[in-house]
Structure 1
Amino acid sequence: MLQGLAFYLMATVAVVSGLLVVTARNPVHSVLWLILTFFSAAGLFVLLGAEFIAMLLVVVYVGAFAVLFLFVVMMLDVDFVRLREGYARYLPLAGIVAAILLAEMVMVSISVAQSGAARDAISPAALAEGVTNTETIGRVLYTDYVYLFQAAGIVLLIAMIGAIVLTLRKREGVRRQDLAAQANRRRADAVEIKSAATGVGVKPEELL
């Protein structure tokens, strides 16, 4: 009974917050509603016994993508009013596409429930072996798919380097850090000893 109440509560919150993501007028509020949607979906995955996917939703999507979207929205001067100009014009087409996708999901859910595949899906091999879901995924990921996992890491590394190169621009009048000059600088180039007479001091221009 408690699991059923938790499921309906989080499902309702996920659906409502998902609708508010696309209907909120403030883009910052849309990102906050998106974070709430991810948390609700993570709770649903926990109820299904897929704690690894729930952790990915919280760590990756909430901790990285949603925060990145929020910073981009706050830093960039984006005219969201202009972006929403065609919202009413494309709304009927979007409604038709959404209705088709909903019908397909309902048909798949009914066919899966009738064939009994859902009962087999909720009984993974991890329970029979006495290990957790996360440990089972780790064993498969780092044995059968280890090369694909490393390839995905290389692709993400290349994408990160490309993003840095594309956004790195040289501007006039901006002092940049020169690591080679800092590492090769000698003490004589940076330190100069000034001798001053007693009671006279040093003029400010002599310190420059």
Structure 2
Amino acid sequence: MSIDFFLFFLFSSFALVSSLLVISLKNAVHSVLFLILVFCNVAGLLLLFGAEFLSFMLLIVYVGAIAVLFLFVVMMLNIKATWVTISPFSVLPIGVLIFLIIFSQLLSIATNFDIFNLQQHDLIWISWILEKDNTTNIKVVGKVLYTHFSLLFLLSSLILLVAMIGAIVLTMHQRIDVQKQKIDIQLARNFDGAVKFITLRK
């Protein structure tokens, strides 16, 4: 077995086990952590298939932004584990239906494509390690994005900047009923009458 097959089975098995743990664990923080692990394994699979741009975008967008945002939100909300008694027979029909759909898809894939007998098919396996000196799709997308579509890229970044500033302005509402310090008035006051000595009668 080559290194490509080994990495394929390694990433796919880790992704399958992690996805099962995401839906089976009761702790929300642990589920989000295993969801991040699923995204990392899928990014590894995409990297093996030669889709470097999709792999890195999955790591940057989903792992670096969305999953970490989920993790922070879950940790800030401090969700307590609630024990709800649900009868397994109430969700059994839905589980059987989903299992039959997934099993039928896997069965159709297994009958049309035998991954353990690839010599019978006219497939040519090209290792991505040997193509490290070639032009990758990330370079191609970068050249097209920053040359032909540079104006659209700048306009989209400007729209995102305006949306971010608008969200900040909308959340910074001024309250009238709150007393605030006025530094200029405090600094401009007369310090001669600031302190008074009072003699109390005995």
TM-score for both structures, normalised by structure 1: 0.61
**1:136 and 2:140 aligned:** yes
User: How far 1:52 sits from its partner (Å)?
Assistant: 1.3
User: How far 1:6 sits from its partner (Å)?
Assistant: 1.6
The residue number in structure 1 matching 2:200 is none
- Aligned residues: CA RMSD: 4.9
User: How far 1:75 sits from its partner (Å)?
Assistant: 2.5
The higher-RCO structure (CA 8 Å, 6+ apart) is 2
The residue number in structure 2 matching 1:27 is 28
The residue number in structure 2 matching 1:5 is 6
Deviation per CA, 1:44-103: give whole Å up to 9, x if none.
111111111111111111111111111222233656647885876234314413432453
Q: Distance in 2 between matches of 1:60 and 1:99?
A: 32
Q: Distance in 1 between matches of 2:170 and 2:92?
A: 35
Q: Distance in 1 between matches of 2:22 and 2:28?
A: 8
The residue number in structure 2 matching 1:189 is 185
**1:50 and 2:54 aligned:** no
Deviation per CA, 1:147-179: give whole Å up to 9, x if none.
987897788779868977997788797678xxx
Q: Distance in 1 between matches of 2:170 and 2:155?
A: 22
- Percent sequence identity is 39
Q: Distance in 2 between matches of 1:150 and 1:2?
A: 42
Letter in 1 for 2:30: H
Q: Distance in 2 between matches of 1:117 and 1:31?
A: 41
Query: Greater share of helix residues, 1 or 2?
Result: 1
* Alpha-carbon contact 1:112-1:118 (below 8 Å) kept: no
- Structure 1 pair 13/152, CA: closer, same or farther in 2 (3 Å)? farther
Q: Distance in 2 between matches of 1:33 and 1:119?
A: 34
Q: Distance in 1 between matches of 2:92 and 2:17?
A: 19
How many residue pairs get aligned? The number is: 187
Q: What does 1:1-208 align with in structure 2 at a 5 Å threshold? A: 1-76=2-77, 78=79, 81=82, 85=86, 89-104=90-105, 107=108, 130-139=134-143, 189-192=185-188, 194-195=190-191, 202=195
Q: Distance in 2 between matches of 1:145 and 1:69?
A: 32
Q: Where do 5+ consecutive residues of structure 2 fail to align?
A: 198-202
- Structure 1 pair 165/14, CA: closer, same or farther in 2 (3 Å)? farther
* Alpha-carbon contact 1:34-1:66 (below 8 Å) kept: yes
Q: Distance in 1 between matches of 2:165 and 2:45?
A: 35
User: How far 1:15 sits from its partner (Å)?
Assistant: 0.4
Q: Distance in 1 between matches of 2:171 and 2:88?
A: 31
Deviation per CA, 1:171-208: give whole Å up to 9, x if none.
797678xxxxx9xx8x85352365569xxx9469xxxx
Letter in 2 for 1:192: A
Q: Where do 5+ consecutive residues of structure 1 fail to align?
A: 177-181
* Alpha-carbon contact 2:52-2:136 (below 8 Å) kept: no
The residue number in structure 2 matching 1:179 is none
